[in-house]
Chains A and B, each alone.
Chain A
Amino acid sequence: GESVGLHLPTLSVQEGDNSIINCAYSNSASDYFIWYKQESGKGPQFIIDIRSNMDKRQGQRVTVLLNKTVKHLSLQIAATQPGDSAVYFCAENFQGAQKLVFGQGTRLTINP
């Protein structure tokens, strides 16, 4: 069946550097992807989404890249700040799917 997984469970970056969080998916039928941010003690918060007809989408300080050839999704955070510390989840969906499929999650920690 389909699955969504993340390459690394933890990622540490220096404050001010750019962060790149990766996600691999196995269902070639997936055509919609979402990144969520979950801070400690809170529910996941929608960050950005992308449809499969796009390779790149930018938001405020965040960029999502989609490589359908290798079924890879990444979230880039520019100029990482302490407030970016959280667990980041990717999720996928496809036409006719009953629900989103969530990945394992990557914990991002910021070093001062």
Chain B
Amino acid sequence: EADIYQTPRYLVIGTGKKITLECSQTMGHDKMYWYQQDPGMELHLIHYSYGVNSTEKGDLSSESTVSRIRTEHFPLTLESARPSHTSQYLCASSEAGIGGRETQYFGPGTRLLVL
């Protein structure tokens, strides 16, 4: 069982506001990920990190940014929220396994509604 946490769990915010979604894990995992997901739909990778000071953009273009200053912490920031950002945001972490194979463990998600 993985220990990965996300806050807030739910957020309702007005257009134009800056928000930061928090993600932390206590397992010392090197890799961390952010996914965007509409309810019951596919997972879209928007950012990932291989370790401290490493961040990469994912498969889905996103107006968000991330940082990785500490191993356990991988926050995601939206500088100016818009209604199109309304979605669920899932954070995950994994250990770098042999040959790149890995198992990702997910947090509970943050459900964002931008009015």
Q: Which residues of A contact B (CB under 8 A)?
A: 31-32, 34, 36, 40-46, 49, 51, 87, 89, 91, 93-100, 102-105, 107
B33 within 8 Å of A (CB atoms): yes
In the complex, which of the residues B6, B41, B103, B105 contacts A105, with contact meaning CB atoms closer than 8 Å? B41
Question: Please, which residues of chain B bring their CB within 8 A of the CB of A40?
Answer: 39-40
Query: Are A49 and B103 in touch, CB under 8 angstroms?
Result: yes
Provide 14 A-B residue pairs closer than 8 Å at the C-beta atoms, listed in order of the A residue: A32-B101, A34-B103, A40-B39, A40-B40, A41-B111, A43-B6, A45-B106, A46-B104, A46-B105, A49-B103, A94-B100, A96-B100, A99-B31, A105-B42
Instruction: Give A91's nearest chain B residue, CB to CB.
Output: B104
Q: Which residues of B contact A (CB under 8 A)?
A: 2, 6, 31, 33, 39-43, 45, 48, 90, 92, 99-109, 111
Instruction: Give B99's nearest chain A residue, CB to CB.
Output: A95
Question: Please, which residues of chain A bring their CB within 8 A of the CB of B103?
Answer: 34, 46, 49
What is the minimal beta-carbon distance from B23 to any residue of chain A, in angstroms?
A: 11
What is the minimal beta-carbon distance from B15 to any residue of chain A, in angstroms?
A: 25
Question: Please, which residues of chain B bring their CB within 8 A of the CB of A34?
Answer: 103-104
Question: Please, which residues of chain A bring their CB within 8 A of the CB of B42?
Answer: 102-105
Question: Please, which residues of chain A bring their CB within 8 A of the CB of B41?
Answer: 105
Instruction: Give B110's nearest chain A residue, CB to CB.
Output: A43
What is the minimal beta-carbon distance from B34 to any residue of chain A, in angstroms?
A: 12
What is the minimal beta-carbon distance from B60 to any residue of chain A, in angstroms?
A: 12
Complex Cα gap A105–B43 (Å): 9
On whether A42 and B43 interact (CB within 8 A), knowing A93-B101, A95-B100, the answer reads: no
In the complex, which of the residues A42, A100, A105 contacts B104, with contact meaning CB atoms closer than 8 Å? A100
In the complex, which of the residues A42, A87, A99 contacts B33, with contact meaning CB atoms closer than 8 Å? A99
On whether A105 and B40 interact (CB within 8 A), knowing A42-B109, A43-B90, A44-B106, the answer reads: yes
What is the minimal beta-carbon distance from B56 to any residue of chain A, in angstroms?
A: 8
Give the 4 A-B residue pairs with the shortest CB-CB distance, closest first: A43-B106, A95-B99, A32-B101, A102-B43
Complex Cα gap A3–B97 (Å): 21
Query: Are B43 and A89 in touch, CB under 8 angstroms?
Result: yes
On whether A44 and B33 interact (CB within 8 A), knowing A34-B103, A95-B99, A96-B99, the answer reads: no
